[in-house]
Structure 1
């Protein structure tokens, strides 16, 4: 009995080690979540930017406002139409005042749209679409800036004591020039957002991981930054990337748990 006890203990030791090693291997070498499953989960969670319809509506309102202002200036101020009809429609308000009030209303709408647009673009930046945020950062600011410049020109025109005909022609010129300059930027922004919503691409980090994986198979990658990139731009990109990775790491564990439960 005594001789068999150590023998059994000797056999028990390796078997216990084998059991422990098997359990550790099952934890380490368990079913892994493929990268395609992760990217498909991220693609399903893609959130579109809901600014295309308001941008298109503002573009249409801008065109209608310029047409309305031209009609009011020609028919009610420059007296090319029936004055009684203009008086009944405007209820005694002067035509140039109606044009200015309409310009202020349009600018307020553009301001509210810019604030709402900035909110959604900030959310896009936090979800990791850093390149799209930088490409549209100045583009989304231009329409409001151009409308503000138009307001300044109108205020300067109102401060001048010019003849009525010259005053109205200059006002219509300012409004027409503002339309020709601001409208293409707003339309271009709308097209960019529509393309972004249609592509439903993964965040920049996921795209870079896929590109780096393909680059490693073909040729060795270089470290560091190349090209005429400024230091401020590099620091800004790193700050945006760090901010996104902090949020991405907190959500990644939840996605892994959900996908593991599904598999």
Structure 2
């Protein structure tokens, strides 16, 4: 019995020594600095290129309105050379050309809106939830304005007014659309350019930084607070959870790469 006890004691001692050696090897291994991880993650910032889409759409909208005014004045109201308009437009009336152009412009606005929504969804998945919510209404505003303009154009066409009155009504609708849509696109482009220029970290990282270096930091928007909507809080938490999953996956890959380099 004494020999068995001695063997067990020696075995336990050897096991403890082996564990301590393994733990010491893990502790003494190459440590990865936080700066290396933060720099690796910051390189993942991707700009949102939709300000170019907004600028191009504004330019095309202005060109369309200018051409519509020229067609209305020269061809419909007949303040210019009627023969030139007939040779250019063939058998199509000037009002029809304006309506066809408006349909093409609406389709272009629809495509641009879907493209902008795609880029903003990508930014939301990368953790920029505040930027996504601040620009969510601006994304669909040009499409809403043009859709409302299409409804007004249909009402004017269905009213069967005289040619001159109908042309003036169409030009008024196009001018109102221009005055509403272009400033919105300009404001949206400024916000996107400011966001790209700041190159800020995701919202979660900013909140962690504010909690670390600020003693009297304000509560974040993650939890439920008085006066906040429950659906809004749940949506924010869902976006936050989705981002944290992708962030952890990215962090794991960076850890593996940096440990392999060391």
Q: TM-score range by the shorter chain?
A: 0.7 to 0.9
Where 2:102 maps in the other structure, the secondary structure is helix
Which residue matches 2:120? 121
Q: How do residues 182-261 of structure 1 correspond to structure 2 at under 5 angstroms?
A: 182-215=181-214, 218-219=215-216, 224-226=223-225, 228-261=227-260
Cα deviation per residue 1:93-150 (whole Å; 9 max; x = unaligned)?
A: 1100000010000000011111111111111111111111111111101011111001
Corresponding position of 2:180: 181
Distance 1:39 1:229 in 2: 33
User: Whole-Å Cα distance in 2 between the matches of residues 49 and 147 of structure 1?
Assistant: 24
Alignment correspondent of 2:111: 112
1:1-263 equivalences under 5 Å are 17=16, 20-28=19-27, 30-215=29-214, 218-219=215-216, 224-226=223-225, 228-263=227-262
Q: CA deviation at 1:28?
A: 4.0
Give the superposition deviation at 1:205: 1.4
The structural deviation recorded for 1:16 is: 7.2
Aligned length: 253
Deviation at 1:219, TM superposition (A): 4.4
Question: Per-residue deviation at 1:89?
Answer: 1.6
User: How high is the TM-score relative to the length of structure 2?
Assistant: 0.88
**Unmatched runs of 5 consecutive residues or more in structure 1:** 1-5
Q: 1:97 to 1:46 in 2, by over 3 A?
A: same
- Measure the CA separation in 1 of the matches of 2:48 and 2:64: 26
RMSD: 2.3
User: Which segment drifts farther, 122-131 or 100-109?
Assistant: 122-131
Deviation at 1:244, TM superposition (A): 1.2
Q: Note if contact 1:154-1:174 (Cα within 8 Å) is conserved in structure 2.
A: yes
Contact 1:39–1:202 (CA under 8 A) maintained in structure 2: no
SS of aligned partner of 1:140: helix
Check whether the contact 2:210–2:217 (CA below 8 A) recurs between aligned residues.
Answer: no
Q: CA deviation at 1:74?
A: 0.7
Residue 225 of structure 1, CA deviation = 4.3
Counterpart of 1:3?
Answer: none
Output one character per residue of 1:63-94: Cα deviation in whole Å (capped at 9) or x when no partner: 00001001110111001111111111212311
SS in 2 for 1:240: helix
Q: Tell me the CA shift for residue 182 of structure 1.
A: 0.9
Aligned partners of 1:69 and 1:99 also within 8 Å = yes
Structure 2 residues not aligned, in runs of 5+: 1-5
User: 2:211 touches 2:217 (CA, 8 Å); kept in 1?
Assistant: no
Offset at residue 192 of structure 1 (A):
1.4
Give the conservation status (yes or no) of the 8 Å contact 2:224–2:230.
Answer: no
C-alpha contact (below 8 Å) 2:57/2:109 kept by paired residues: yes
**Secondary structure of the structure 1 residue equivalent to 2:228:** coil
Normalized against structure 1, the TM-score is what? 0.87
Q: Mean Cα displacement is larger for which, 140-149 or 34-43?
A: 34-43
